Amino acid sequence: MLKNTMIAAAVGTFAMTSAALAQTPEFSTVDANEDSLLTLEELNSAGVPITEDIFKAADTNEDGALDSEEYSRIEL
């Protein structure tokens, strides 16, 4: 019984940690040059796990950068 409880606690801790790590950082934290736009390079430098395909899909106005509205729609 104790073994099952310890396993359940470990799994629960891992799940909570994974959820916390999966959250996207705030826009202002990622916007290194403070131009109110995020490039793929800024996102990668900030450790945001985003692919070029996801970036391009999120860039709805196709200007090569994400504004805060476009960034808020990303689901990682």
**What pLDDT sits at residue 58?**
97
Residue 61 phi/psi, 5-degree rounding, is: -95, 5
Write the pLDDT tens digit of every residue in 9-65: 454 444 443 444 457 899 999 999 999 999 999 999 999 999 999 999 999 999 999
Give the CATH number for residue 7.
Answer: 1.10.238
**What pLDDT sits at residue 76?**
78
Helices (H), 23-67: 27-30, 40-45, 52-58
pLDDT band at 2 (very low <50, low <70, confident <90, very high): low
**What pLDDT sits at residue 75?**
85
**What pLDDT sits at residue 19?**
45
Domain that holds residue 65: 2-72
pTM for the complete prediction?
A: 0.69
Domain count, the chain: 1
Q: How far apart are CA 60 and CA 56, in angstroms?
A: 8
